[in-house]
Amino acid sequence: KIFRTKEIDLENFINPKKLETKAIKYKYSNLKHDFITLTLRDYGWSNGRDTSQRDIDKGFEFSNYIGYPIVLIPDDLNKIKEYNTYNFKVCPTARTNLSERIYLYANSYLNINPQGGPSHLSIFIKGSRTIIINFGAKSFDGDVAHIKKYYNIDFGEQPYLKLDTFFMWKDIYKDYT
């Protein structure tokens, strides 16, 4: 319902400044606002929503195109070696430290997330910009029928644009660039 209104009250959204600590600011002081986060979802549970090597490659192409480096937030540190992560800065603690993840999402130029919990977090951070890749991919908890039933979002719809979030629907943006 909140996404269907003309005005969105951001007062109830996550204010990253309230969670920011000196330790987090110091840890990421070498990062400027000119970076992209890429969340590497690799649970093995609901595989249709996982990030693929192709998604990583597309993120790399995009980062080269705009000249901003990628900060990678992995799900499973043991599986990261299975991917070509180029020269991405990997932030393993941001996968379990919510304040760090919020700091990165809030301070990035753009967040690229697969459909899942972290993408929802990114949507609700003041000032965060997000692209959710492979939206509506075949899975028991994220396909088009599930999205319609539980979120009342029709195939191809972009209801979160007011929140600077864009869905790259799997069956529309198959060869996204």
pLDDT, tens digit, 9 for 90 and up, residues 74-91: 988 888 999 999 999 999
Q: DSSP letters along 66-131, please?
A: HT--EEEEES-TTTGGGS--TTPEE-GGGGT-HHHHHHHHHHSSEEEEESSHHHHHHHTBTT--EE
Determine what percent of the chain is predicted with pLDDT higher than 90: 54
Burial class (CB in 10 A: 0-12, 13-18, 19+), 99: middle
Which has more confidence, 107 or 44?
107
Q: Is the pLDDT of residue 106 over 60?
A: yes
Average pLDDT score, the chain: 87
Map tokens 């869905």 to a residue: 167
Under DSSP, is residue 148 helix (H, G, I), strand (E, B) or coil? helix
pLDDT, tens digit, 9 for 90 and up, residues 37-67: 999 988 776 777 788 999 999 999 999 999 9
Cα gap 2→72, rounded to integer Å: 30
Burial class (CB in 10 A: 0-12, 13-18, 19+), 68: middle
